[in-house]
Amino acid sequence: MAVSWGMLAAIVASLVLLKILASKSSGHTIGIALGALLLAAVVGSMIVRVRHNPTPGVDVLADASVEAVLAQEVTESNEELWDRLTKSRINLSAGQVEDKATAPMETKEEAKGDTGTEATVAKPDWVENPPKRMGNVYRRVVTSDQYSTVEECHFQLEAKLREAVRERMQTLVDSGADSLHQAPEPDSIGIGLDFIMREICQDEYTETTEASFGEMKRVHVLMEFNPAVETQLRMAWMRHERIHRLRVVGVFVAGTLSLLAGAYGLLQFDTWTRGYYTKRLLLGASAAIIVAVVLLLS
């Protein structure tokens, strides 16, 4: 809403400036032409913004629901998220594995009961044979390097999980209509590690291998991108693109207004000096325009 009011203010300012220029002598036709160009640029950019919507049929209510999910308050630290993901699914007192529907993200290589005994969990099939897709759910396994502690594996996986989400988002972006943009980092569009751990990471397996200098750990994480998650990723990217385009339009409008104001000032100064500094003013204005264009493109 703030950006829309900014657009309206820019249009009103352009119209007022056009009125001022039109009230002067006919020698100010350059300023009037620049004002008309500014007004056309603003209106055209708004039309392009609407027409360039990657998914024009998206429901506004769905966008609001995605924002609510991404904006919910995070009360868990990274350690707590990993603990919840790696919590054992083995119920030693009952002697059986809990139902995956009630604990979809709980697994561990070893689980301890009240008596202190240990139970070894067999390596899941998805570690050896990771499925790429099951129905309309895209699956991916992310594996850490070998470290002496699980915490070191988790630290490396945090970066790998973000990169996996970015790559999946790039695939979704490339499948959109006439999209040539590079997918941004998840954190920059509100897709934080907490969202990835809660909504995308579905299982974890910690593998222990023996080395000459002791045990080494390697952590495998199963990621699932279901249609709901992919919709949230796509919507987050769309919001990022809208903000980016509006910023570009804002810079363009500000630059055009500055150019228009400068041209009007030069015309007034040239009139006041009766054309004595006309050549110098033209050279200075040309240099200023070149510098402004270089700064905007850099």
Question: Each residue of 100-123: pLDDT tens digit?
Answer: 434 444 444 444 444 444 445 678
Examine the pLDDT at 285 and tell me if it is beyond 80.
Answer: no
- Highest mean pLDDT among 21-30, 47-56, 190-199, 283-292 belongs to 190-199
**What was the pLDDT predicted at 100?**
40
- SS3 string of 39-82? HHHHHHHHHHHHHCCCCCCCCHHHHHHHHHHHCCCCCCCHHHHH
Average pLDDT over residues 123-139: 84
Q: How confident is the model at residue 9 (pLDDT cuts 50, 70, 90)?
A: low
- Output DSSP code: residue 176: S
**Residue among 125, 167, 166, 160 nearest 142 (CA):** 160
Average pLDDT over residues 112-137: 69
Whether residue 125 contacts residue 210, with contact meaning beta carbons closer than 8 Å, is answered with no
**205-251 pLDDT tens trace:** 999 988 888 889 999 999 999 999 999 988 888 888 888 888 888 88
Joined together, the tokens standing for residue 269 give: 């100064």
Average pLDDT over residues 51-64: 42
**What was the pLDDT predicted at 162?**
92
Examine the pLDDT at 49 and tell me if it is beyond 80.
Answer: no
Give me the residue label for tokens 């693109």.
241
**What was the pLDDT predicted at 19?**
53
**What was the pLDDT predicted at 34?**
52
**What was the pLDDT predicted at 272?**
77
Q: Which of 146-155, 189-198, 261-270 has the lowest mean pLDDT?
A: 261-270
Q: What percent of the chain clears pLDDT 90, i.e. is strictly above it?
A: 13
**What was the pLDDT predicted at 154?**
92
**CA–CA distance, 93 with 75 (Å, rounded to integer):** 31
**239-262 pLDDT tens trace:** 888 888 888 888 888 877 877 777
Q: Mean pLDDT score of the chain, rounded to an integer?
A: 68
**CA–CA distance, 36 with 97 (Å, rounded to integer):** 72
**140-180 pLDDT tens trace:** 999 999 999 999 999 999 999 999 999 998 888 776 554 55
Higher pLDDT, 89 or 210: 210
Examine the pLDDT at 189 and tell me if it is beyond 80.
Answer: yes
